[in-house]
Amino acid sequence: MREEKRDWYEFTGKSVEEALGKALEELGVEESQIEIEILEEPQKGFLGLGGKEARIKVILLAEGAVREKLEGGEAAARAQAPEETGGETKDSSEIETIVSRVLKLMDIEARVEAKEKADSFVVDVWGEDAALLIGKGGNTLEALQTLVNLCARRKISTGKKVIVDVEGYRKRRKARIEKQAQDKAKEALEKGKSELPAMTAAERKIVHVALRDFEGVRTESVGDEPERRVVIYAEKNKKTSVSRETETENQ
Amino acid sequence: MKDLLEYLAKSLVDNPNDVQVEMIEGERSVILQLKVNPVDIGKVIGKGGRIAQALRTLIKAAATKRGKNAIVEILD
């Protein structure tokens, strides 16, 4: 959260208009609610170097309303209890704004919908550049989610995790990981041990949960991030495994 | 890309007014230099460079869309 309460903010942009646009969007106010002071006019640089952006100071006039949105809005949002299936709340629309903003700055046209659930916020994104946004092995999507979580933490304070999904990628990936876990568990039963590829913490959890009730195996995460992976061990009763080895030796 | 990095960095730090991004654009690659208030440097790097890595990944994706390669440098 912001350390001190203040009623003015600075914004920059290629032009004064752009800076103003950013200000209105970020603060969620109308032009009539603010007073603008131009701190610096933009200056053209040479070959994209040395240029100076326009800098404006935005003073909030409608104190209460805007401050509430930025700092005190969480309480009001929490008052509207989210449904089990997830609903739109003040916080979820705040997160929707952050994601839309990031995508817009990436020049990606997409539809964004955020919902607040009991233990998390879920943001679904649909658009043309889904593959780009997901990235190799979901890398870009992970990065987006990491950053959105950090940005959101400053605007809302429910402490709930934000899960960003693009075109149902996470849901499909979950199904694929579960299948892979089952296959590898069978392999572990045959060979005594098997290993899954490196995964994120959330993905490893899918494996652990999927194999919790799988007879005869135990799972363990080993290695350091980002190479941390799940290893599956065949869990034989120690005694029987020892005696079996002894039997083999005796033969 | 510059606006994207600037927006993200400003959202991460305690002193958004001290965020500066310089963009050096070549034909095929773009170098973005991010400067933040020294007290905020951890906020853009993160534990084990986790945040810096996320910033790089996202900026690179944005650059790919424009057919460019992007390099993000965090200056201290």
Cα separation, A245 vs A232, in Å, equals 20
At residue A238, the pLDDT reads 44
Nearest CB among B12, B48, B65 relative to A132 is that of: B65
Q: Extract the runs of DSSP E, i.e. beta strands, from chain A.
A: 8-13, 34-40, 54-60, 110-116, 120-127, 161-166, 193-195, 217-222, 229-234
At residue A184, the pLDDT reads 96
Nearest CB among A48, A107, A147 relative to B58 is that of: A147
Establish, for the pair of chains A and B, how many residue pairs have beta carbons separated by less than 8 Å. 68
At residue A229, the pLDDT reads 95
At residue A49, the pLDDT reads 62
pLDDT band at B55 (very low <50, low <70, confident <90, very high): very high
Question: B16-37: per-residue pLDDT in tens?
Answer: 999 999 999 998 999 999 999 9
Question: A183-198: per-residue pLDDT in tens?
Answer: 999 999 999 999 999 9
Query: Quick check: pTM over 0.80?
Result: no
Residue B52 near chain A (CB below 8 Å)? no
At residue A6, the pLDDT reads 61
Nearest CB among B25, B55, B56 relative to A48 is that of: B25
Mutate to test the interface with A, among B58, B59, B60, B72 (most CBs of A within 10 A): B58
Q: Are A37 and A73 in contact (CB under 8 A)?
A: no
Residue A9, pLDDT > 60, answer yes
Question: A158-184: per-residue pLDDT in tens?
Answer: 889 999 999 999 989 999 999 999 999
Cα separation, A207 vs A199, in Å, equals 10
